Amino acid sequence: MNDHKKYPDAAGASAAGLHTPPPGSPLNLGTDGPAAAALRQRAEAASRDIAELLPEELKALSTEDTRRFLHELRVHQIELEMQNDELRRAQVELIVSRARYFDLYDLAPAGYCTLSEAGLILQANLCAATLLGTTRGSLVQQPISRFIHADDVDPFHLQRKKLHAAHADSSGLAAKPLACELRIVHHDGTPIWVHVAATAAEDEGGAPTLRLVLSDVTERRLMDAALRESEEQRWAILQTAMAGFWVVDSNGWLLEVNESYCVMSGYTVPELLTKRIADLEAPETAEATADHVQRSLGGERSRFESRHRRKDGSIFDVEVSFQFRPVDGGQLVVFLQDISERRRAEEALSRLSRLAVMARDTRDAITVQDRDGRLLMWSPGAERIYGWSEAEALRMNVRVRMPADRHEAELAKLRELCGAETPEFYRTQRIAKSGAVVAVSIIATALFNQAGQMYAIATAERVIAGGAA
């Protein structure tokens, strides 16, 4: 019998480099895609051919045929093992990326909040809870209208309805985001002004939702009011304000600036008083800048977002608002707020949303625990493997899932893995809610804050087939 005729794809498999994925295949290797499908077809064909061999034919195989046949099977086995290793490595990269963005949601400088179509709060981060004047745990399923000033409830409700309607009519395209400012009233009656940026979306079940980004703009509002009410107090407020401030003549030359804008831009006051708006605007053309100036000189109040160039050449994002002042041939009072952090937070949230979907769909258990072992994140895969719901797990310490006689050794091993230069898998045991001992393969990585200090450990845990730890 000629093995090369019977298994043409298996012969020379090692030389052909079948373990190298074809360009363009998803993740290069995995359970889907042309490479995996072709490999599957070859394996099934080989299986059928082996099953068809009669005992007499097997006995008739020469020593060389048998050796070649076993070699081909071994090549297939190695290919599958290499593909499995590549797939797990790609999964580890996904887990590490997901964990690194985890803290951007809760620790973001902007408030994030998700609303149902009825206006109920489904999810909120710590900053949102602070802006709304309550704890995060008490926000869930509360109507957002409960926290909004009575005069702003109806206008915001109408804006939400328009945004949902626009999203429904957009046929899957992104509807224009909603941007507005409203007052939030704390439990002690204190109102604050909040800028709301809202985008329409859908939850996992397809139900309409709104994703809100909340920013405290009380200080800017107070500055606007102070400018209108008291020219005498103007400089005292503006020179100590966090927002930048200009006074500009009708030709766009800066006449006055405050210290805050000097800090933002890196220029000194004398340097700035030799410049025009066009010298500081990074992306706009001189014509676009002149158009903003002329519209404001005509009495129109203009607000927009732009990018400015610092003295060292770096770029930063600003929110700019103009107000016309009819003195000395017409002047513009300009407020500038650095929104670079907000922009970065919004971009991070977008990436986090995509990564969260991938983490939700993996069958591995993905967890995040703080330095004391308290669980901060519990994926659907973890609930499937161990039996505890997310609500139950987030009240637990990781020690509950470890065999009693291995607590310190397991924690020490996790710390050791976090210090490794490259991620490493190790086999161990975990306790399920039912009390069953589950053999798992674990990889761990440390999460660091902006100060470079480790604040949590992320793990990916996969059940070992056969249960041997």
Tell me what the mean pLDDT of segment 309-328 comes to: 87
Which of 282-291, 389-398, 430-439 is predicted with the least confidence, judged by mean pLDDT? Answer: 282-291
Is the per-residue pLDDT at 25 higher than 50?
no
Q: What is the pLDDT of residue 196?
A: 92
Identify the three-state secondary structure at position 81: helix
Give the Cα-Cα-Cα angle 362, 85, 463 (nearest 5 degrees): 50
Tell me what the mean pLDDT of segment 100-119 comes to: 81
Query: Which stretch, 199-213, 215-229, 265-279, 356-370, has highest mean pLDDT?
Result: 265-279
- Per cent of the chain over pLDDT 70 is 72
33 pLDDT band, cuts 50/70/90, is low
End-to-end CA distance of the chain: 43
The rounded distance, in Å, linking the Cα atoms of 343 and 104 is 12
Q: What is the pLDDT of residue 293?
A: 64
The rounded distance, in Å, linking the Cα atoms of 186 and 192 is 8
Q: What is the pLDDT of residue 431?
A: 93
Q: What is the pLDDT of residue 214?
A: 92
Q: What is the pLDDT of residue 358?
A: 57
Q: Which two tokens stand for residue 200?
A: 């329409």
Tell me what the mean pLDDT of segment 379-386 comes to: 90
Q: What is the pLDDT of residue 2?
A: 43
Tell me what the mean pLDDT of segment 170-196 comes to: 82
pTM: predicted TM-score of the whole model, two decimal places: 0.37
The rounded distance, in Å, linking the Cα atoms of 289 and 281 is 8
User: With DSSP H G I counted as helix, E B as strand and the rest as coil, what are the percentages for the chain, rounded to 5?
Assistant: 45, 25, 30
Given the structure tokens 């949590």, which residue do they identify?
A: 456
| Spatial CA neighbour of 398 closest among 382, 417, 384 | 382
> Which is higher by pLDDT, 146 or 450?
146
Tell me what the mean pLDDT of segment 389-416 comes to: 88
Q: What is the pLDDT of residue 359?
A: 59
Tell me what the mean pLDDT of segment 91-115 comes to: 78
354 pLDDT band, cuts 50/70/90, is low
Is the per-residue pLDDT at 150 higher than 60?
yes
Q: Could you tell me if residue 206 is left (phi over 0), alpha (psi between -120 and 50 degrees) or otherwise beta?
A: left
The rounded distance, in Å, linking the Cα atoms of 32 and 312 is 49
Q: HSE on the CB side for 299, CA within 13 Å? A: 0
Q: What is the pLDDT of residue 254?
A: 93
Q: What is the pLDDT of residue 469?
A: 52
Residue ranges and CATH numbers for the domains of the chain are 3-104 (no CATH), 111-216 (3.30.450.20), 220-342 (3.30.450.20), 362-463 (3.30.450.20)
- Which one-letter DSSP state was computed for residue 231? S
Strands 454-463 and 121-124: unpaired
151-162 residue pLDDT tens:
999 999 999 998
Q: What is the pLDDT of residue 284?
A: 61
The rounded distance, in Å, linking the Cα atoms of 263 and 251 is 25
